[in-house]
Structure 1
Amino acid sequence: MRNLLPLISSHNAHPGGRSALTCRFRCGDACFKETPNTSDNEYAGDIIARAVSRRSMMRTAAVVTVAAAAGTAALTGPNTPRAEAAALAGHGHKPHPPHKPAPSGARGLRFSPVAPNKNDKVTVPDGYGQNVVIRWGEPILRGAPAFNPEKQTAKAQAGQFGYNNDFLSLLPLRGERGRQVLVANHEYTDEVLMFRGYDPANPTREQVEIAWAAHGLSVVVVQEESRTGKLGAVTRHPLNRRLTATSEFRVTGPAAGSPLLRTSADRTGRKVLGTLNNCAGGTTPWGTTLHGEENFNQYFANGTTAMHKRYGIGSGATERKWERFDRRFDLAKEPNEANRFGWVVELDPYDPDSTPRKRTALGRFKHEAAEPRLTADGRPVVYMGDDEKFDYLYKFVSSKQMKKGTSRAAREHNLTLLDEGTLYVAKLTGDSPVAEIDGSGKLPNDGEFDGSGVWIPLATGTTSHVPGMTADEVYVYTRQAGDKVGATKMDRPEDVEPSPRTGRVYVALTNNSDRGKEGKAPADEANPRNGNKHGQVLELAENWDDPTGDGFAWRLFLVAGDPDDPSTYFAGFPKERVSPISCPDNVAFDAHGNLWISTDGNQLGSHDGLFGVATQGDRRGELKQFLTVPTGAETCGPVIQDRRVLVAVQHPGEVDGASVEKPASTWPDGPGKIVRPSVVAVWRKDGRDIGV
Structure 2
Amino acid sequence: MTETTRRLLPMLGHTKGKRSAVTCALKCDSACSDAVCNTSRNTYFRDIVSNEFSRRSALGAGAAGALTLLVSSQLGAGSAQAAPPPGKGYLKSNLPFEPIAPVDAMVDAMTVPEGYDWNPVIRWGDPLFRTSPAFDANNQTAAAQALQFGYNCDYTDVIEIEGSKGRRAVLFANHEYTNETIMVPPTLAAAEVRGIGKAAHGLSVVELERKNKNKPWTYVQGAPLNRRYLTTTPYEVTGPAAGSDLLKTKDDPAGRTILGTLGNCAGGTTPWGTILSGEENFNGYFVATGTSAGDRRYGITNRPTARGWEIDEPRWDTRNAGYENEKNRFGYIVEVDPLDPTSTPKKHSALGRFKHEGANVTVAADGRVVAYMGDDERFDYLYKFVSTNKVRPGTDPAARKANMTLLSEGSLYVARFQGNSVAEIDGTGTLPSDGAFDGVGEWLPLLIDNRSVVAGMSAAEVTVFTRLAADTVAPTKMDRCEDVEPNPATGKVYVACTNNTNRGVGSNAAADEANPRSLNRDGHVVELTEAGGDATGTRFTWNLLLVCGDPARNQATYFAGYPKDKVSPISCPDNVAFDSQGNLWISTDGQPSTVGFNDGLFKVGLEGAERGRVQQFLAVPRDAETCGPVIHDQDGTVFVAVQHPGEDGSWAAQLSYFPDYVPTGAVPAPGEAALPRPSVVQVYRA
Q: Do structure 1's residue 652 and structure 2's residue 645 form an aligned pair?
A: yes
Cα distance in 2 for partners of 1:63, 1:326 equals 55
The within-5 A match list for 1:157-556 is 157-177=145-165, 178-197=167-186, 204-226=190-212, 228-304=214-290, 305-333=292-320, 334-434=323-423, 436-543=424-531, 546-556=534-544
1:634 counterpart residue number: 625
Displacement of 1:150 in angstroms is 1.3
**% identity of equivalent residues:** 54
CA distance change for structure 1 residues 121 and 43 in 2, over 3 Å: closer, same or farther?
closer
Q: Is the 8 A contact 1:365 1:386 kept in 2?
A: yes
Cα distance in 2 for partners of 1:232, 1:255 equals 41
Q: Is the 8 A contact 1:589 1:640 kept in 2?
A: yes
Q: Is the 8 A contact 1:108 1:592 kept in 2?
A: no
Question: Which one of the candidate residues 535, 553, 561 is aligned to 2:549?
Answer: 561
Q: Is the 8 A contact 1:64 1:551 kept in 2?
A: yes
* SS of match in other structure, 2:283: helix
1:90 counterpart residue number: none
Q: Do structure 1's residue 670 and structure 2's residue 661 form an aligned pair?
A: yes
Displacement of 1:78 in angstroms is 4.4
Q: Deviations over 1:39-95 (max 9, x none)?
A: 121169xx999xxxx9xx77x8764354xxxx53xx5x946249xxxxxxxxxxxxx
User: What is the total number of aligned residue pairs between the two structures?
Assistant: 631
CA distance change for structure 1 residues 160 and 264 in 2, over 3 Å: closer, same or farther?
same
Displacement of 1:359 in angstroms is 0.3
Cα distance in 1 for partners of 2:458, 2:65 equals 43
The within-5 A match list for 1:70-109 is 71-72=61-62, 75=63, 78=65, 80-81=67-68
Cα distance in 1 for partners of 2:659, 2:187 equals 22
CA distance change for structure 1 residues 17 and 35 in 2, over 3 Å: closer, same or farther?
farther
Q: Is the 8 A contact 1:16 1:511 kept in 2?
A: no
Counterpart of 1:179, as a letter, is R
Q: Deviations over 1:144-195 (max 9, x none)?
A: 1100111111121111100000000111212334111100000001110111
Displacement of 1:679 in angstroms is 0.8
Displacement of 1:128 in angstroms is 0.4
Q: Is the 8 A contact 1:296 1:341 kept in 2?
A: yes
Counterpart of 1:644, as a letter, is T
Q: Is the 8 A contact 2:388 2:449 kept in 1?
A: no
Counterpart of 1:552, as a letter, is F
Q: Is the 8 A contact 2:330 2:353 kept in 1?
A: yes
2:130 counterpart residue number: 142
2:670 counterpart residue number: none
Counterpart of 2:244, as a letter, is S
CA distance change for structure 1 residues 109 and 238 in 2, over 3 Å: closer, same or farther?
closer
1:584 counterpart residue number: 573
Q: Deviations over 1:595-622 (max 9, x none)?
A: 0000001010010000000111211111
Query: 5+ unaligned residues in a row in structure 1: which ranges?
Result: 1-11, 83-105, 686-692
Displacement of 1:575 in angstroms is 1.1
CA distance change for structure 1 residues 397 and 620 in 2, over 3 Å: closer, same or farther?
same
Cα distance in 1 for partners of 2:198, 2:399 equals 35
Cα distance in 2 for partners of 1:570, 1:483 equals 32
Deviates most, 377-386 or 456-465: 456-465
Q: Is the 8 A contact 1:63 1:552 kept in 2?
A: no
2:58 counterpart residue number: 64
Cα distance in 1 for partners of 2:443, 2:357 equals 19
Cα distance in 1 for partners of 2:500, 2:101 equals 26
Cα distance in 2 for partners of 1:512, 1:547 equals 28
2:73 counterpart residue number: none
Relative to the length of structure 2, the TM-score reads: 0.89
Q: Do structure 1's residue 617 and structure 2's residue 604 form an aligned pair?
A: no
Cα distance in 2 for partners of 1:140, 1:445 equals 57
Cα distance in 1 for partners of 2:433, 2:337 equals 50
Displacement of 1:433 in angstroms is 3.3
CA distance change for structure 1 residues 111 and 394 in 2, over 3 Å: closer, same or farther?
same
Q: Deviations over 1:647-679 (max 9, x none)?
A: 000000012xx1111101121113751211011
Displacement of 1:224 in angstroms is 2.6
Displacement of 1:249 in angstroms is 0.8
* SS of match in other structure, 2:228: strand
CA RMSD of aligned residues (A): 2.3
Query: 5+ unaligned residues in a row in structure 2: which ranges?
Result: 1-12, 70-91, 663-672
Q: Is the 8 A contact 1:48 1:485 kept in 2?
A: no
Displacement of 1:408 in angstroms is 2.0
Q: Is the 8 A contact 2:103 2:597 kept in 1?
A: yes
Q: Is the 8 A contact 1:16 1:533 kept in 2?
A: no
Q: Is the 8 A contact 1:185 1:279 kept in 2?
A: yes
* SS of match in other structure, 2:138: coil
Cα distance in 1 for partners of 2:110, 2:41 equals 44
Cα distance in 2 for partners of 1:311, 1:124 equals 39
Cα distance in 2 for partners of 1:40, 1:223 equals 54
Counterpart of 2:153, as a letter, is N
Q: Deviations over 1:184-235 (max 9, x none)?
A: 0000011101111179xxx722221211211010000111343744111111
* SS of match in other structure, 1:207: helix
Cα distance in 1 for partners of 2:55, 2:454 equals 22
* SS of match in other structure, 1:156: helix
Cα distance in 2 for partners of 1:80, 1:406 equals 25
* SS of match in other structure, 2:126: coil
* SS of match in other structure, 2:139: coil
Q: Do structure 1's residue 596 and structure 2's residue 585 form an aligned pair?
A: yes
Q: Is the 8 A contact 2:427 2:512 kept in 1?
A: yes
1:3 counterpart residue number: none
* SS of match in other structure, 1:399: strand
Counterpart of 1:596, as a letter, is W
Q: Do structure 1's residue 25 and structure 2's residue 26 form an aligned pair?
A: yes
Counterpart of 2:479, as a letter, is D
Deviates most, 170-179 or 348-357: 170-179
CA distance change for structure 1 residues 16 and 264 in 2, over 3 Å: closer, same or farther?
farther
Displacement of 1:302 in angstroms is 2.8
Displacement of 1:245 in angstroms is 1.5
Displacement of 1:407 in angstroms is 1.7
Q: Deviations over 1:351-397 (max 9, x none)?
A: 10001000000000000010111101221100000000000000000
